[in-house]
Structure 1
Amino acid sequence: MNEVAHKKRAEENQLAAALTKGPAEVLDFLLPLWVGSQLGASAAEVGALTALETLVSFVVRPIAGALADRFDRGRIAAVGAVLYGLSFVVYAVTPGIGVAYLAAVLGGAGGALFWVALRARVGEGLAADDGAFSKLFAAEGGGTWIAFVVALTAIAWIDYRGVFWLGAAACAVAAVVLLNAKSAQVREEGAPRLLQLGKRMRPMLALVALTAMAEAGVALLLLMHLQRGHQLQLGEIAAVFIPGFIVYSLLPDYLHGFVRKVGRTRVLALAMVASAIFAAGLSFAPSPPVLAVMWVLSAAAFAAAIPVEQAVVAEAAGLSLGRAMGIYESATLLGATIGTFVAGQLYGSDTGWRVACFGAAGLLLFGSFVVRGAVRRVGVAEFPVEPRKTVSQKEKWAPRTIEDSPQAAESVTEEANRRANPLRNWAIHAGVYIVAQAALAVAGCSWPIEALFGEVHEAGWYWNSSGHWLLNLGRIWTFVLVIDTVWTFGRELLKKRPY
């Protein structure tokens, strides 16, 4: 597969991941609130709904891994996206908690098929791009914060069910992207089987489960403390989390360059120590702005660690990428389930809250000491090997076509770069925004003008509903432009230089 095909394939994977990850994270955030407040579900029913989706996903993930090693991974991931989308549809139309259990089953199965097959598909490209998983993680982070901004600004306008319909639409687009992607042959001959893989990667999988346990537990502790300890509303809670999600989308590719310099085990150990500091600091219950800054630092640590773990698992898998990613996803889910359960049980009292925070910190510190041995035992290199372009003798003496001409390729690349220049695109976005807002200001419906120069409004006017539909559209557009600005200039500042 040539460089252009590799790049196109990577872009398809990243787009599908962004379209699916964002709605899934929004669903996890909104579902307990929605079923409790609008469907009248008890705490036990909410827990049963979440547990059912987790159980189905856990059971299906090894099966998804076997399927991804036998059939086209893009098609398997597309089926998962369709099931994911159907779960959103069922949530959007369900009259009560009983039908919601069907949505949980569909979501659990769809998530297992989608993520196992997609990560295996990404693993195919490691030979061509050793930062493939960092780019995937960045795409997931970008999809998450965009989905949160859209959902939380639109929820007062279209209600929870409307947000679920938007999630279904995003999953449908992801399925179309993957179905239109070029198929790749899946080779199974000589591939290690599930039990062989599990035995070989046991130390790394234990580390993955530990990381997931700490990440999920700390995130839940932060969420509950913002809601119950600081009495924050939905939009205010999201404002604490969103900067961390933006870090997920900006830093992974840049941090991968750091991995190349200092090695995988050092980065994993440093990331776990940083996360342990955040977990311990959380126990002192600082103010929400301080928590937001701490969460950004913790997000940066996870943005460095998780792609490294995925790359190590993929390299250790050999030809069994599907099965390896199935085991990896199962370990992640198991760790996250234990982490959230324990955190929820311990949060109730001051003593339990501090035990949970310091317990997560202790686990992460322990992981930082054993990470070197875990990576060495799976037999992968300490430093990722950067792909190098090689030319075979056959290619060396083959007659060149117009497409093979370096000058032609350079011309095409330069033209593509001009079209894809992010600063140029941002300037166009900003120009259209300014012109549109000037016209709306004449009509008295410009949200930024009203927000800056109008009368003082309550917090809900800025976050939930601003009244007139043109003001609501202007509010969403303004938020999107602000995030587009942070995204564009942040990527330019952190753009990875060649090493």
Structure 2
Amino acid sequence: MAVLAPARRRESRVLLAATLANGPVELLDFLLPLWAGAALGASATQVGALVAAELAVSVVVRPFAGMLADACERRFVAAAGALIYALSCLGYALAGGLPQAYAAAVLGGLGGALLWVAVRAMAGERLAEDSAVYPRLTAAEETGAWVAFVAGLSLLSLFGYRTVFLACAGACLAAAVALASAPRRVVPAAPELPGGVARRLRPMLLAVLVTMAAEAAIALLLLLHLQRHFQLEIVQIAYVFLPGAIAMAVLPVHLHRFVLRFGRVRVLALASISSAVFATGLAWAPHPVVIALLWVLSGVAWAAVIPVQQAVVAEASGARVGRGMGLYESAVLLGSLAGSLLAGTLYDVSPWPVACLALAVIILAGAGLVPWSVRALGVADRPAPADRPARADRPASVVPPEQRVEVRTDPRPKPARSAGRKLGEHVALYLAVQAVLAVLDLSWVRDLATGAVDPLSGQRDVPLEGLAGIAYGAGRVWTIIVVIDVIWTAVTVFRQRR
């Protein structure tokens, strides 16, 4: 127990940093090709080269970042990565041409490699005593992603790309501060395992490569389909993807309960089937709203798959978890690259239903490939449950007085009415502010109800500028947050009453 409190504080800083940094990363991945074409006048080839530059640097650096994370204090490696990525965002904001954009892309590849390899290695430090660390990390990352999309696209419509890039730089700088101020590592290192890490991880790396290629391909196919077939604009496309992103933010910790009960192999197989059903349904989806609902299936699948993949990689890596995460991240990127190339070819040469069904078959193959990779690693199918807090009836002699942790003597769970009361206060404040905004003709909710605003793009019949536009956009962001708060509280109350 002497090391438990600082270890958890260290983990909480990692989760905070992951939330702050992943939002800019995901948002820039989405906006960068559009910005390069619109702001810099880049051709399709130049846009592809810009994206490839960051990807190539990241793939090359990630294995070395893993070795650095094993040799040095990981919080400083991760903080350096977040700081370099902040400089990359700043470079995009100040770029006046392609040379500066390429330099920013190189910094982004370097910073992303250092940041994410070290962050995943830090998260794995408590894996032996708490198997839910990677579900929490995935939830933190995806929460940052959807919040960044909602806030970033609102900023984009009001102020343009430069403001969005500066906001991303600020978020990454805050992540660097959170990581650098984390406590020192106090959890003992995992034991050294025989043989090389790359050789042990080969089955999982192969499975990650194949599944990521298929999933990246279907995501890019969907983006192209929404843009070219349904003629959606950038903000509308983002809102189609939003429900799946929210599912990935809310579900990982809850799905971990199924991993504990049914085992990793079964959950991974079912996740592959869910993702394949999504790809199949996509072939005949008649409307973007239907596609958005189907995309939730993919979000549910990845909310289960990603934490399991990262956990088994950490377990199989032993003391060299940084090296293992570096190889895992490289496989993810290479799979994404292969999937992007495959998607472009399929979209050009195949009818839309044929392309979707072809990828559904590849994804369905993961129902056998991914579980096989888990068995090949030799890790446990059912991880140990998360650690439990100290019990009040534990003998005092077990824990020295200066290290004792205060616990509640009431063994019952926290009453559900506490969560409901907090939600009620949040909703009451929200409704009061919305009433004021409605009187000032600045309420997005009222416009949505009266049809004065496009629900996907957020474009108003009468555009707003300046502080009025900021208030209007903030009301839209707050509305989405309230909806998520209601869903989250409902799930929490349901779990407490079971």
**Aligned AA (1:347):** Y
Q: Is the 8 A contact 2:444 2:476 kept in 1?
A: no
Rate the CA distance shift 1:288–1:273 in 2: closer, same or farther, 3 A.
Answer: same
State the partner residue of 1:78.
79
Aligned pairs for 1:378-397 (under 5 A) are 378-388=377-387, 397=397
State the partner residue of 1:30.
31
Extract unaligned runs of 5+ from structure 2: none
Cα distance between partner residues in 2 of 1:251 and 1:100 = 36
How far does residue 129 in structure 1 lie from its aligned partner after superposition? 1.6
Cα distance between partner residues in 1 of 2:448 and 2:268 = 44
Aligned residues: 490
Comparing 124-133 with 219-228, which one deviates more in the overlay? 124-133
Cα distance between partner residues in 2 of 1:250 and 1:460 = 22
Matched, 1:64 2:62: no
Comparing 430-439 with 48-57, which one deviates more in the overlay? 430-439
State the partner residue of 1:200.
200
Q: Give the secondary structure class of the aligned counterpart of 1:337.
A: helix
Rate the CA distance shift 1:177–1:411 in 2: closer, same or farther, 3 A.
Answer: farther
State the partner residue of 1:489.
486
Q: What does the per-residue CA deviation read over 1:183-214, in whole Å, with 9 as the maximum and x for residues that have no partner?
A: 21697897459x81111111111111122112
State the partner residue of 1:50.
51
Q: Is the 8 A contact 1:235 1:463 kept in 2?
A: no
Q: Is the 8 A contact 2:55 2:109 kept in 1?
A: yes
Rate the CA distance shift 1:411–1:79 in 2: closer, same or farther, 3 A.
Answer: farther
**Aligned AA (2:43):** S
Q: Is the 8 A contact 1:218 1:279 kept in 2?
A: yes
State the partner residue of 1:233.
233
How far does residue 304 in structure 1 lie from its aligned partner after superposition? 0.9
Rate the CA distance shift 1:439–1:70 in 2: closer, same or farther, 3 A.
Answer: same
State the partner residue of 2:408.
410
Q: Give the secondary structure class of the aligned counterpart of 1:230.
A: coil
How far does residue 478 in structure 1 lie from its aligned partner after superposition? 2.5
State the partner residue of 1:358.
357
Matched, 1:335 2:343: no
Q: Is the 8 A contact 1:85 1:167 kept in 2?
A: yes
**Aligned AA (1:474):** A
How far does residue 399 in structure 1 lie from its aligned partner after superposition? 7.3
State the partner residue of 2:154.
153
Aligned pairs for 1:432-451 (under 5 A) are 432-442=429-439, 444-448=440-444, 451=447
**Aligned AA (2:431):** I
How far does residue 427 in structure 1 lie from its aligned partner after superposition? 3.5
Cα distance between partner residues in 2 of 1:44 and 1:252 = 38
Cα distance between partner residues in 1 of 2:429 and 2:437 = 12
State the partner residue of 2:140.
139
Q: What does the per-residue CA deviation read over 1:385-437, in whole Å, with 9 as the maximum and x for residues that have no partner?
A: 1245699xx986367527626xx4328999xx89x965444444333333334
How far does residue 460 in structure 1 lie from its aligned partner after superposition? 9.1
Rate the CA distance shift 1:424–1:477 in 2: closer, same or farther, 3 A.
Answer: farther
**Aligned AA (2:371):** R
TM-score normalized with structure 1 length: 0.90
Q: Give the secondary structure class of the aligned counterpart of 1:292.
A: helix
How far does residue 469 in structure 1 lie from its aligned partner after superposition? 3.5
Aligned pairs for 1:418-433 (under 5 A) are 423-433=420-430
State the partner residue of 1:467.
464
Rate the CA distance shift 1:73–1:395 in 2: closer, same or farther, 3 A.
Answer: farther
Q: Is the 8 A contact 1:64 1:112 kept in 2?
A: yes
Q: What does the per-residue CA deviation read over 1:324-345, in whole Å, with 9 as the maximum and x for residues that have no partner?
A: 1001101111111100111122
Extract unaligned runs of 5+ from structure 1: none
Rate the CA distance shift 1:189–1:473 in 2: closer, same or farther, 3 A.
Answer: closer
Q: Give the secondary structure class of the aligned counterpart of 2:319.
A: coil
Q: Is the 8 A contact 1:69 1:321 kept in 2?
A: yes
Q: What does the per-residue CA deviation read over 1:107-142, in whole Å, with 9 as the maximum and x for residues that have no partner?
A: 001111101000000000112321111111111111
Matched, 1:374 2:373: yes
State the partner residue of 1:477.
474
Rate the CA distance shift 1:256–1:183 in 2: closer, same or farther, 3 A.
Answer: same
How far does residue 450 in structure 1 lie from its aligned partner after superposition? 5.5
The RMSD of aligned alpha carbons is 3.0
